[in-house]
A = this chain, B = another copy of it.
Amino acid sequence: MYQDISMVFSGAAGQGVQTITGALLHVLKKYGCNVFSCSEYMSRIRGGSNSTEIRITEKKRDAYVRRIDMLFALSHNVVEHLKDRISSKTLIFAEKEKFGDQWGDSCIDTPLTKFAVEAGSAGFSNIVAAGVVLGMFGIPLELFTAYLQVKFAAKGEEIATKNCIAAKLGYSFGRDTAATANISLQISIPAAMPERVLMDGSTALGIGAVAAGCNFISSYPMSPGTGLLTFLANRTKEYGIVVDQAEDEIAAINAGLGASYAGARAIVTTSGGGFDLMQEGVSLAGMIETPIVIHIGQRPGPATGLPTRTEQGDLNLALHAGHGDFARVIFSPGTLAEIIDTTQQAFNLAQRYQIPVFILTDQYLLESVSTIEAASVKRRTVETFLVKTTETYQRYAFTDDGLSPRGVPGYGDGLVRVDSDEHDENGLITESFDIRRRMVEKRLNRIRSLMETACMPTFIGSVDQAETLVISWGSNRWVLEEALDVLGNRAFGGIHFSQVFPLNPVINSLFENKRLFVMENNATGQFADLLSFETGRRISRKILKATGEPFTVEEVVDALHQSDHE
């Protein structure tokens, strides 16, 4: 009897684990469950050992757990790969015919291939597997067959039908197994479930960008940043987006800036290593006061590091990227809603303040799939702040707030002249120290307004009464919430930052008389240091992890439990 189940599907790259998990997530969501999945995989195209965790929970739980309740082993080395997460309670589903009896008593022989062949081809075994799960949990088969009909519609009726047969064979097997092994899912499904959408972080980012009026992207593929590029590339016609695959990251950001100068709403996407190469471009954005949104999908460094794994190690990089002083904003969303919303904010702020704005995500966030109420997905007004120029237009006119009205070439009677050298109000090279001084101030002054309007963090649990605040940013939003919930100790409250720079000075008051913990997925505690520096407060504890894996709920609970007894 499971009230909160963690199932892991594991096999080699290319074995189609995604076919199983894609189907299950869809059907389970339709049925009304709360579902979540996250994936870990190797940097290779075929072979190796990858796995995807699916959680089915009554409460919304969008976080990675270490525990494996059921493991579907699709290749030999699965148990070796996951040994740290398998316990005596883990049920293993595997084909004994293929893998022998290596997994002992806890293994339920699951003849996927046999059923698949029965349905028409060994290729259907993934569908069989999904069927087994749905059968075990008594999820109506029709939901699955409906899904398959749609999915394989294009491939012709025969294929669709065979898939349905495979599904059904698996389903019956699952139902029987559940009965024998006394397996059941005890999750109450609300009668009237609000409409929910199901997607991964990259998709949310793409939706946010499209909603933000993004119409230009030039980028170079790099995991895990590529998802956004692919999302937009597949919607060029539909939304009028110009998509260019750049020859390198330097080209990407310079093309983005060129486009932005000419009036496009531009974004670039990359990961830490590619971003290193963009830094001179970031500095250019600062100098020419041209908006650009920069998405950094973080992964473990240094250098190539672990290209398909996760880390939150690029905060300092984003914070100090590009030589010279100028204003910037850094968002760090942790939920689908936050991704969609901060992405829109990012574009609007970039335009309003004529600055580079960063969105920091990571592999874990981008590739985790979860749900969100459709009605809560909000569109912000697309703000452009462009002016039609007159003949006397000056791109860098001095104004009270340091923001010069921004024109674009070809719109109005003026000329728009931007210069990476220090320049005067007209954009002409200058060596006047006086103008230099004023231009430096101009570029920095907007930080004040950016601070005052910075997003407030989210409170998790009883922040007021808590003695200790546990602070997270970015992808750790849900793991923190669940850990605090599991811990159930009112001495702990949570605070999550979906904007990490600049920080709203108001937060200082939150921290009064509190012990502060910061949890983050890097080796040194970059946000802890930033927070400590900006607020002048001591961080009592850094909960860190930099192995390339995300935090598990269990280890955060343990870490907090332990501190409680310190």
Contact = CB atoms under 8 A, between A and B. Distances in A.
Interface of A: 42-43, 48, 250, 272-273, 275-277, 279-280, 282-284, 286-288, 300-307, 309, 313-314, 316-317, 319-326, 419-422, 429, 431, 433-434, 436-437, 440-441, 443-444, 522-524, 529, 532-533, 546-549
Contacts of A275: 323
Given A316-B320, A523-B325, A524-B325, A284 B306 contact: no
Contacts of A309: 431
A332 B525 CA distance: 26
Contact of A276 (B306, B322, B419, B529): B322
A223 B6 CA distance: 59
Contacts of A307: 421
Contacts of A43: 421, 429, 431
A47 to B, nearest CB: 12
Most chain B beta-carbon contacts within 10 A, residue among A276, A286, A307, A316: A276
A276 B283 contact: yes
A419 B302 CA distance: 11
Nearest to A306: B422
A42 B432 CA distance: 10
Nearest to A545: B437
A165 to B, nearest CB: 38
B272 A323 contact: yes
Contacts of A434: 547
Contacts of A323: 272-273, 275-276, 301-302, 313-314, 317
21 contacts: A250-B277, A273-B280, A273-B283, A276-B279, A276-B283, A277-B279, A277-B280, A284-B302, A286-B302, A302-B322, A302-B324, A304-B420, A305-B420, A306-B422, A306-B436, A317-B323, A325-B522, A436-B546, A436-B547, A436-B548, A444-B524
A278 to B, nearest CB: 8
A93 B48 CA distance: 80
Contact of A325 (B282, B440, B546): B546
A287 B319 CA distance: 21
Contact of A301 (B306, B324, B437): B324
A441 B419 CA distance: 44
A118 B320 CA distance: 59
Given A277-B277, A301-B324, A323-B276, A433 B548 contact: yes
A248 to B, nearest CB: 9
Contacts of A302: 283-284, 286-287, 322-326, 443
Top 4 closest pairs, chain A to chain B, by CB: A301-B324, A302-B324, A272-B323, A287-B303
Contacts of A288: 303
A300 B440 CA distance: 10
Contact of A324 (B279, B313, B325, B429): B313
Contact of A279 (B279, B325, B326, B433): B279
A37 B274 CA distance: 42
Contacts of A48: 431
B529 A533 contact: yes
A306 B420 CA distance: 9
B529 A422 contact: no
A306 B439 CA distance: 12
Contacts of A444: 523-524
A305 B422 contact: yes
A272 B321 CA distance: 11
A300 B286 CA distance: 13
Contacts of A419: 304
Contacts of A287: 301-305
